[in-house]
Amino acid sequence: MVTRGRPQPGSTSQPKAPPKPFAWDHASERGLSYGDLLRLLEERLEAAKSDKEYTYLAALYIQLRNGCRVSEAARALLVFAKTGSRKLRVPVSKRKDKLERLVLIPSNVEYRRVSWLAEEFKRKPLERATKVLATRVKVFSQRVLGINTHSLRYAFITYLASQGVAPQLIAKITGHARLDYILHYTQRLAAEDLLEKLVLGGNENSQR
């Protein structure tokens, strides 16, 4: 008798592995909203004493404002430091189809504070320079701010979803190839909002 779902003697087939969790499920963030992160980074940018610290903060700020990956923000910042252009198209990371996305450098990111990058990396190919800078920014973010850089992208997507932006449009902005990555979070956000309204009447600060 064949027992459904179990491998038979002599069979080389293995049970299917459980689905891989979404990367955002492991984002090490401190429970900060998009607005919280925006204020934090703007305050740190204003207070930054060295150009190096300012530059790393600027990369994180660009990532948050554009909802991009840290490598995309790093590449945009390197090109900005070289050309001064604030409207850039960069290759979307983890895409094999060579898709590019728009990354904008906010007006409050000062060119003079990040221009040292052009000299620092002038002998390195852009791809290599991007990897080096992205790694530095990741380490800085984790050690100094206690924030996983991917949580900035998550905060941006969550913010857009809370504003009623369609998942399809969010995916176009962020460069996601699979819409289910976006739906996973926008649907969860909508479900939690609905539960909150049903239980607390829309007052999240209500107490028993």
Question: Active-site residue numbers?
Answer: 69, 94, 150, 153, 176, 185
| Cα–Cα nearest to 106, from 50, 71, 60, 152 | 60
Amino acid at site 179: L
Cβ count within 10 A of residue 115: 16
The partner residues of 103 in beta bridges, in order of sequence, read 88
The first and second tokens of residue 54, run together, are 């300012």
Instruction: Map residue 38 onto helix, strand or coil.
Output: helix
Amino acid at site 147: I
User: What letter does residue 7 receive in the DSSP assignment?
Assistant: P
**Residue 95 CA from chain centroid, whole number:** 15
- Give the ranges where the chain is alpha helix by DSSP (H): 34-47, 51-66, 70-83, 111-114, 116-120, 126-140, 150-162, 167-174, 179-200
| Cα–Cα nearest to 177, from 73, 95, 108 | 95
Instruction: Evaluate whether 57 touches 183 at the Cβ level (below 8 Å).
Output: no
